[in-house]
Amino acid sequence: PNQSEANLRSPICCIMGHVDTGKTKLLDCIRGTNVQEGEAGGITQQIGATYFPAENIRERTKELKADAKLKVPGLLVIDTPGHESFTNLRSRGSGLCDIAILVVDIMHGLKPQTIESLNLLKMRNTKFIVALNKVDRLYGWKACRNAPIVKTMKQQSKDVQHEFNRRLTDIITQFKEQGLNTELYYKNKEMGETFSIVPTSAISGEGIPDLLLLLVQWTQKTMVDKLMYRNEVQGTYLHHKEIKAAQGIKITAQGLEHAIAGTSLYVVGSHDDLEDIKESAMED
C-alpha cells in the first residue's frame, strides 16, 4: 500500500479501567451485541478485539455533523479485563494501542485499577480519553437513546445537571491528585495537555457518538505518522490476497493455545535466522 496521508491504517484503541465500570458493555452498545451478559460472572477474562469500519462510525456520529472528517478506514478496539488479577493483560493491551479509552464509573470515581491503568498509559506516554460511564444512573436521568451528550444534558432537570456537575468536579479533582488535568471534552481547549472526559451510558447510548468521533479525530490529528502503512510485515494468506494492518484476522496454527494474546507477530524471511527470531519472540 502506498504511504500517504490519504491511505492511513486504522488506529488501535484499547479500553481500560476498573472492574465493572462498563468497558465490555460500551463495546456491546457500539456493536449492538450482548457479549457482557455471556461472560462468566460478568467478568472479562481475556483480551478481545473488535473492528469498527468507518461506515459504522459515520452512521453513529452523523448527528454530530462531522461526516467529512473521517480519514481512517476504521477503528480496532481492544477490550481488556478490569479485575485486579489481570494486570498482565492490561499491560499487554496498553502496549498494543495508539490511543486508549479509560472508563470511570460516575457513581464510583477513580478506583485502584483505574489508577493502575493510568500508570500503564503514562509509562508508555499513550494518550487517552476518559469515558465517564453510567450517567443514566444519576437519579432522575431522562434517557435520550444514542444522543450526543450536549443535546442529552439540555433535556435533564436542574437537579440532575447539578448532581452531574458535582460528581464531575470530584472526579476532575481525583485525576488532579494523580497529576493529570482533565476537562469535559467540549470545554477542553488544549487537548493534549488536558485530557478529555466524555460522559457516556452503555445502556442508553448517550455520549457514544461523541466518544467515537473524538477517538477518530484525535488519532487522525495527532498520529498521522504512526498511522501510515509500513511494508514490514508481509505474508501469504489463504483467504485474503492482501490484509491491511490493524484489522482483526484469524490465525490458524498448531499449538496456538500456548500463544499469549498481545505478543508480536514475527514473519520469517528467507534471509532471517529462525533461532534469532524465536529468541525475540520469547523475550516479547
Residues 100/16, Cβ–Cβ less than 8 Å: yes
Which CB, 118 or 203, lies closer to ligand GTP?
A: 203
How many residues make contact with ligand GTP (CB under 6 A)?
A: 22
Burial of 117 (0-12, 13-18, 19+ CB in 10 A): buried
Q: What is the Rg, in whole angstroms, of the alpha carbon atoms belonging to the chain?
A: 20
20 closest CA partner among 84, 92, 93: 84
Residue 116, binding choice from Mg ion, ligand GTP, Na ion, none, Cβ under 5 to 8 Å by partner class: none
Q: Distance (Å, rounded) from C-alpha 128 to C-alpha 82?
A: 16
One-letter amino acid for residue 255 of the chain: G
Q: List helix spans (H) across 231-272.
A: none
**Backbone dihedral angles phi then psi of residue 16, each to the nearest 5 degrees:** -130, 165
Residue 43 CB, nearest distance to ligand GTP (Å)?
A: 4
One-letter amino acid for residue 177 of the chain: E
Site string for ligand GTP, 67-86 (x = CB under 6 A): --------------xxx---
Site string for ligand GTP, 156-195 (x = CB under 6 A): ----------------------------------------
Residues 62/40, Cβ–Cβ less than 8 Å: no
One-letter amino acid for residue 86 of the chain: F
Do strands 181-184 and 127-133 pair parallel, antiparallel, or not at all (unpaired)?
unpaired
Site string for Na ion, 21-50 (x = CB under 5 A): ---------------------xx-------
Which CB, 18 or 23, lies closer to Mg ion?
A: 23
Part of the chain binding Mg ion (CB under 5 A), chosen from 41-49, 59-67, 87-95, 135-143: 41-49
Q: Distance (Å, rounded) from C-alpha 16 to C-alpha 117?
A: 6
Residue 228 CB, nearest distance to ligand GTP (Å)?
A: 32
Is position 19 an interface residue for ligand GTP (rule: CB under 6 A)?
A: yes
Residue 43 CB, nearest distance to Na ion (Å)?
A: 5
Element (H, E) at 74: strand 74-79
Part of the chain binding Mg ion (CB under 5 A), chosen from 20-28, 161-169, 172-180, 233-241: 20-28
Q: Distance (Å, rounded) from C-alpha 277 to C-alpha 228?
A: 25
Residue 94, binding choice from Mg ion, Na ion, ligand GTP, none, Cβ under 5 to 8 Å by partner class: none
Is position 25 an interface residue for ligand GTP (rule: CB under 6 A)?
A: yes
Q: Distance (Å, rounded) from C-alpha 74 to C-alpha 255?
A: 31
Residue 75 CB, nearest distance to Na ion (Å)?
A: 22
Is position 89 an interface residue for ligand GTP (rule: CB under 6 A)?
A: no
Q: Which of 9, 18, 23, 60 binds Mg ion (CB under 5 A)?
A: 23
Unique residue bearing C-alpha cell 444512573: 137
Is position 20 an interface residue for Na ion (rule: CB under 5 A)?
A: yes
Which positions lie near Mg ion, rule CB under 5 A? 23-24, 44
Which positions lie near Na ion, rule CB under 5 A? 20, 42-43
